[in-house]
Amino acid sequence: MLAAVAGAAATAIASAVGIAGASTAANPPTVRSLPYVAGSAQVGHTLTARNGDWGGTQPLTFSYLWRRCGSGGGNCADVSGATSKTYALASADLGHRMRVRVTAANSAGSSSAVSRPSAVVQAAPTPPPPGPSGQIKLADGKVSIPVTSVDSPQRLIVSGVEFAPIVVRSRNPFTARFRVTDTRGFVVRGALVYMLGLPYGRIGNVAEQQTGTDGWVTFQVQPTAALPLQNGGALVLFVRARKPGDNLLAGVSTRRLVQVRLGSP
């Protein structure tokens, strides 16, 4: 009888130990939300792997492997040696998307998850060329400088001419636009532009105006009754661009004759 009681007690103790052991068993890592890539996808910038959210017995340790993918995010290949949490984008990454494989590990094992792709890696911005001060990079790729940065032997140039409408068929106001650059190809802001119709009296007088950051200046032109509206005709315009404070006929100033076509109403 005593032997039977002792055996039952031993069985109960063993069962209790088993239950306690099961309750403290380690759980391997499981991903709850995917890792992702943070940072600007541009050559010369650095991307950072964000781990996402993981379950499993703590503590967790993480390791990384960066992958270079096609522009659509597929066709990925491991980047040799890229095993840090951060990755500096190089010229070889241009036009690709980047992913990172994050591996979480604990005492019960390990598990991996791959991030969604980054944006397509863009080229590094082109720094402004060395030269005059006050440079501003414009959206069209040109570089704007203040007129104070234009000195002899450089000169101003009236390089752009636009009219709206392109054929004047009425005596309603029309728009004349002129862009000023210099002999180095820089767009010039703050240049003073003057416009005069030839022969005199065919348009109203307009005041001298400054070019904007993009080098353009816009005039509203009012034709007079003396403007002959006929097919094949043209209105000639004298355009001058100058640097404030310079002599009207000297310094870095420039002059140009342009014309806008005329037509019958």
pLDDT tens for each residue of 147-171: 999 999 999 999 999 999 999 999 9
Domain ranges of the chain: 28-114, 136-262
pLDDT at 248: 81
In the chain, what percentage of residues exceed pLDDT 90?
84
The confidence score (pLDDT) of residue 14 equals 45
Q: What is the pLDDT of residues 188-214, one digit of tens each?
A: 999 999 999 999 999 999 999 999 999
Contact of 242 with 225, CB cutoff 8 Å: no
Could you tell me the pLDDT band of residue 130, with boundaries at 50, 70 and 90? Answer: confident
- Render the burial of 136-167: b for 16+ CB within 10 Å, e for the rest: eeeeeeebbbbbebbeeeebbbbbeeebeeee
Question: How much is the pLDDT for 2?
Answer: 39
233 falls in which pLDDT band (50, 70, 90)?
Answer: very high
**CATH match of 136-262 with 2.60.40.10:** yes
pLDDT band, residue 39 (cuts 50/70/90): very high
Q: Same CATH fold, 136-262 and 28-114?
A: yes
* Predicted confidence band of residue 126 (pLDDT cuts 50, 70, 90): confident
Identify the pLDDT of residue 254.
Answer: 95
pLDDT tens track for 74-121: 999 999 999 999 999 999 999 999 999 999 999 999 999 999 999 999
Q: What is the mean pLDDT of residues 32-50?
A: 96
Place of tokens 């390791």: 63
> Could you tell me which CATH class the domain 28-114 is placed in?
mainly beta
Cis peptide before 165 (omega within 30 of 0): yes
For the whole prediction, is pTM greater than 0.85? no
